[in-house]
Amino acid sequence: MYELIQAAEHTYYIQSPAKIGLVRLNDTDVCLIDSGSDKDAGRKVRQHLDAQGWRLTAIYNTHSNADHIGGNAYLQKQTGCQIYAPGIEGDFTRHPILEPAFLYGGFPPGDLRHKFLLAQPSDARDLTPEVLPQGFGLIPLPGHFFDMVGFRTPDDVVFLADCLSSRETLDKYQIGFIYDVAAYLRTLEQVMDMKARLFIPAHADAAEDIAPLARYNMDKVHQIADRIVALCREPRTFEEVLQSLFAAYGLTMNFEQYALVGSTVRSYLSWLKDAERLTARFEDDRLLWQAV
């Protein structure tokens, strides 16, 4: 874990739970794509920098989930590097309490205020194409989170952040986190048509052909949507839908899973309602979802 792997002449990634990209800008300067999950990840990155004699100039965050920005504060303090994040992701990066609060739908209990969901704040500037190093491309990848992006390096290596999960992860957990289902499916369609020297998803193996995995992720979304519609042949509350999905997929409920899967299921319900596959009504002070 945390091995430095060379993907192309100037492009590397650090093998970690959420892959960290590293690009050499010249003989001494490098930038990162994301920073890992916490201070310890930041230390591992710093060890690679010191061993190679590299100077970190900037961290470009794909999005603001804690496992992608957790090393920001440590590395910024140690190196003085700039940090950039796209759109609303910058607000979450500067004020990371927003992530567990958003997921829970209110002030999060202590069970959700830990490094997995709550990074240390870091001073992030707005990520735009103009602040990127020469030859970099910025790729909008909305859906998994609000304004998530990917990057194409000058070596034609594409970092895809969290728009794809591995087959193993999907087969084990079934329901991957999604904020906007419609946007997520559009992103997967975009990714299926992409060509690059190499694709590096944060949570799946690097691959020269990413289309099969994108299709697998897309099919999984539609399978889950069909299951939710089937569950709602009779009127059901959100909690009943969530409980049935946990039972069907053999998942174990805890605060983290309630927040992450629960938020995703709410997103599915919204998408299915907007697509007129579900209706919603209030009865006896309960919100009931039912298939059309």
| Domains of the chain, each with CATH number or no CATH | 4-221 (3.60.15.10), 229-291 (1.10.10)
pTM: 0.97
The mean pLDDT of 174-197, rounded to a whole number, is 98
Contacts of 11 (CB under 8 A, 6+ apart): 21, 22, 23, 24, 153, 154, 155, 157
**Average pLDDT over the chain, rounded to whole?**
98
Contacts of 196 (CB under 8 A, 6+ apart): 152, 156, 157, 158, 210
Q: What is the DSSP letter of 70?
A: T
Helix (H) or strand (E) holding 137: strand 137-140
Q: What is the DSSP letter of 34?
A: -
CA 142, 147, 148 angle in degrees (round to 5)? 65
Half-sphere exposure of 140 (CA within 13 A, CB side): 10
User: What is the arrangement of strands in the sheet containing 198-203, beginning at the earlier edge strand?
Assistant: 137-140, 149-152, 157-165, 198-203
Asked if residue 124 lies in contact with residue 90, where contact means CB atoms within 8 angstroms, the answer is yes
Q: What is the pLDDT of residues 263-290, one digit of tens each?
A: 999 999 999 999 999 999 999 999 999 9
Q: Look at residue 283 in the predicted model and tell me its pLDDT.
A: 98
Q: What is the DSSP letter of 217?
A: H
Phi, psi (degrees; rounded to nearest 5) at 270:
-60, -45
Q: What is the pLDDT of residues 52-106, one digit of tens each?
A: 999 999 999 999 999 999 999 999 999 999 999 999 999 999 999 999 999 999 9
Residues 134 and 213: their CA atoms lie apart, in Å, by 30
Confidence of residue 31 (pLDDT cuts 50, 70, 90): very high
Asked if residue 84 lies in contact with residue 127, where contact means CB atoms within 8 angstroms, the answer is yes
Closest CA to 254 of 84, 122, 109, 58: 109
Q: Look at residue 38 in the predicted model and tell me its pLDDT.
A: 97
Q: What is the pLDDT of residues 115-154, one digit of tens each?
A: 999 999 999 999 999 999 999 999 999 999 999 999 999 9
Q: Look at residue 159 in the predicted model and tell me its pLDDT.
A: 99
Q: Look at residue 290 in the predicted model and tell me its pLDDT.
A: 98
